[in-house]
Amino acid sequence: MALHGVIPVFKPKGYTSHDIVGKIRRLTGQKKVGHTGTLDPEVEGVLPICLGQATRIAEYVQSFPKRYQGSMMLGISTDTQDQTGQIVEQIPVRNVSEKAIQQVFERFQGVIEQTPPMYSAVKVKGKRLYELARLGKEIDRPKRKVTIYELTYTQIHNDEEYLKIDFDVQCSKGTYIRTLCVDIGLALGYPAHMMSLVRINSGPFHIDDCFTLKELQTVAENGTWETVLYSIDEVLGQFPSLIVSDEDERRVLDGWFLELEPPMISSLVRIYTESGRFCALYRCDKEEAKPEKVFRDVDS
């Protein structure tokens, strides 16, 4: 029987997000599996995995804010902007006060611009940047706007030459934390790179909600996937709900427009029948709601 829902997986270091998708495919025995936002191989933490009809909501889950905890090194930069790269610059850190760090961290909150790193999967003119980087090439990359909702440093470790800064950040989709570390370093007057990173939250999922690959192996052996699977409508819980009569259920499943009374501002809404069945995701526009995703074969 096909599985429909989302599993919050704890991605360990040393695996790509695609590796995790492959493992879940093998464990569940079904092909329709996808992740909701790439984590670099050396980054660990929350990786929601969508199965079956839930792969159709990956775009929404991916767009939810994410929270990370990490460490950056001030005084050393690398070609990949993280701990996996080759050192390209080293400058002993002198006279950087806690107050200066606080002020710079505050400057990077809100909407900021980032230039994607060369070692990234972003495509420019049909080429992946990391493919060009591996050939020793560097090209101009268009800047992108991202949002830093919260950014705080949690601890400062001062050794003889360099400065390690632990931090906590909540940000929008598309934020490169590696690049954020580098840009913070530049604002403080030093080269920098990201030393470590853990994704603590992704949308509705916290790291404490996650299942390890070992735990999922046991689930597969016991055939108890219902114990780890979050339903589609549960994952979309931040969107308001709208109840239609059972007699209107067929119209919703056939993708008819709905008249709204009273009118609603533009937003996505979860559509339920009076009997409690989740059947669609609609987008409201004043007096009308239009179907965005219809789920015929998913029980709530």
Q: What percent of the chain has pLDDT over 70?
A: 90
User: How many other β-carbons are positioned within 10 Å of the β-carbon of residue 195?
Assistant: 16
In this prediction, residue 137 carries a pLDDT of: 63
Domains 5-64+203-233 and 239-294 share a fold: no
Q: Residue 1's pLDDT is what? A: 79
Mean pLDDT value across residues 275-299: 88
**SS3 (DSSP) at 201:** strand
* 263, pLDDT greater than 80: no
Q: At what angle do helices 17-28 and 213-222 cross, to 10 degrees?
A: 10
**CATH code of the domain occupying 239-294:** 2.30.130.10
- Whole-Å CA distances, 219 to 24, 32, 174: 11, 18, 32
pTM above 0.75, yes or no: yes
> Contact 200/208 with Cβ under 8 angstroms?
no
Active site residue ranges? 40
For residue 162, the 8-state DSSP code is -
Per-residue pLDDT band at 300 (split at 50, 70, 90) = very low
- pLDDT tens-digit map of 117-160: 756 666 666 666 666 556 566 666 678 899 999 999 999 998 77
Res. 66: pLDDT tops 70? yes
Q: What is the pLDDT of residues 19-61, one digit of tens each?
A: 999 999 999 999 999 999 889 899 999 999 999 999 999 999 9
Mean pLDDT of 206-232: 97
Q: Where are the alpha helices (DSSP H) in the chain?
A: 17-28, 58-63, 98-107, 129-134, 177-188, 213-222, 232-235, 249-253
108 or 133: which leads in pLDDT: 108
Tell me, what's the pLDDT at 272? 94
Q: How far is CA 287 from each of CA 148, 266, 290, 291, rounded to the nearest angstrom?
A: 34, 10, 10, 14
> How many Å apart are CA 143 and CA 138, to the nearest integer?
15
In the CATH scheme, what is the code of domain 66-200?
3.30.2350.10
Sign of CA dihedral 33, 34, 36, 39: positive
Q: What is the pLDDT at residue 129?
A: 60
Structure tokens at 227: 């114990």
Domain locations along the chain: 5-64+203-233, 66-200, 239-294
Query: What's the mean pLDDT when you consider all of the chain?
Result: 91
Name, of 134-138, 174-178, 256-260, the range with top average pLDDT: 174-178
Q: b/e string for 142-167 if b means 16 or more Cβ within 10 A?
A: eeeebebeebebeeeeeeeebbbbbb
| Residue keyed to tokens 């979050």 | 230
Rounded CA-CA distance 286/261 in Å is 9
Could you tell me the fold of the domain covering 5-64+203-233? Answer: Pseudouridine synthase (3.30.2350)
Task: Give the number of other Cβ atoms within 10 Å of residue 126's Cβ.
Answer: 5
